[in-house]
Chains A and B, each alone.
Chain A
Amino acid sequence: MEWNFKSGVPIYSQIIDELTMRIASRAYAPGEKLPSVRDLAMDAGVNPNTMQRALAELERRGLVYTERTSGRFVTKDETILQGLNGALAGRYIEELVDRLEKIGMERSEIAAAIADWLARNN
């Protein structure tokens, strides 16, 4: 039932990440109507205020929009959606590079390791 939340990080920002992932991976299709705040909150096991806050931020970023009488919808704007991929990729790559640099790898080694892995795991 509950999404897995890390401790020590605000829940609303973790929700933003999760929903962003879902939108980027098209789990919520472009233009699809999102469940109500209450339903999302129940699914995630969080306070509806927290869910509302996350959704408001998503709206600010243009990932969702509200139609007053009908509810919340995922954006249909492909530019934004493509941009998401770039942004998310950047985030995860940063995390990866960060970790591997911590164990002493050089950036060139990291790039080579990635290419190698991709070649072997087709």
Chain B
Amino acid sequence: MALLEISKLSKSYGGSFSLEDVSLSLEGGQIIGLLGPNGSGKTTLIKLINGLLTPTAGAVLIDGMEPGPETKAKVAYLPDRIALPDYMTTAELMNLYQDFFADFDRAKAETMADDLGIDRKQQLKNMSKGTKEKLQLILVMSRQASVYLLDEPIGGVDPATRDYILRTIISNYNESAVVIISTHLIADIESVLDDIVFLRDGRMVMHDTAENIRENLGKSVDELFREVFKC
């Protein structure tokens, strides 16, 4: 039984489908890139996996269970926006995570906060955008989850932080977890990906390993993406 089983998943609003007939079967130890232009359904798929949306058709199963409180305890989600209460300090946010997520590793989070120079006593609302994003990321990566959903994790950060984030993703690697990274900054991240999934207009148009693409097509994933999604 795959860790993350997505079968014929569809989501529509009114008449139009934002995700149509997507199927994926993912095992632990895989890092998957969810790639596509804006509006291709990447965020919709992620929200369906973490239970923020309910499917119109098809199913999502995490460890054999439908999205609900039990799966949310095993899914670590990094949204593409700041979703934390902004009057809280770093330390208070860590308390919050610790309270609700049994798999939260406080010590690890504190180490990462120190590495990135995040002040424990500073309120979220007084931090720069980049710092807020770093904080959100380290809170998520400090969880020992079965599924990591990272929606644009390296979008708004400087190159040094980007490197740190990629190193963290690699060092967090564990054979019993699936990491799904949704991004359009492909060149920076493709060396970290096992599989890549291309989404266009809600449909999956390609699913292959990054190495196969390099070997068989003689292109980087980034180059292939530009070809496939040429404007």
Contact = CB atoms under 8 A, between A and B. Distances in A.
A86 interface: no
A47 B194 CA distance: 7
A50 B214 CA distance: 13
B191 A2 contact: yes
A48 B170 contact: yes
Interface stretch (B62-70, B95-103, B139-147, B216-224): B216-224
Interface in A3-49: 5, 7-12, 38, 41-42, 44-49
A47 B222 contact: no
B214 A48 contact: no
A5 B221 CA distance: 13
29 contacts: A1-B163, A2-B191, A5-B191, A7-B214, A7-B220, A8-B214, A8-B218, A8-B219, A8-B220, A9-B214, A9-B218, A10-B215, A11-B210, A11-B211, A11-B214, A12-B211, A38-B171, A41-B173, A42-B167, A42-B170, A44-B191, A45-B163, A45-B166, A45-B170, A45-B192, A47-B173, A47-B191, A48-B170, A50-B194
- Tell me the interface secondary structure of chain B in the complex: helix
Contacts of B170: 38, 41-42, 45-48
A50 B222 CA distance: 18
A9 B29 CA distance: 23
Contacts of B163: 1-2, 45
Interface residues of A, number: 19
A50 B29 CA distance: 12
Contacts of B192: 45-47
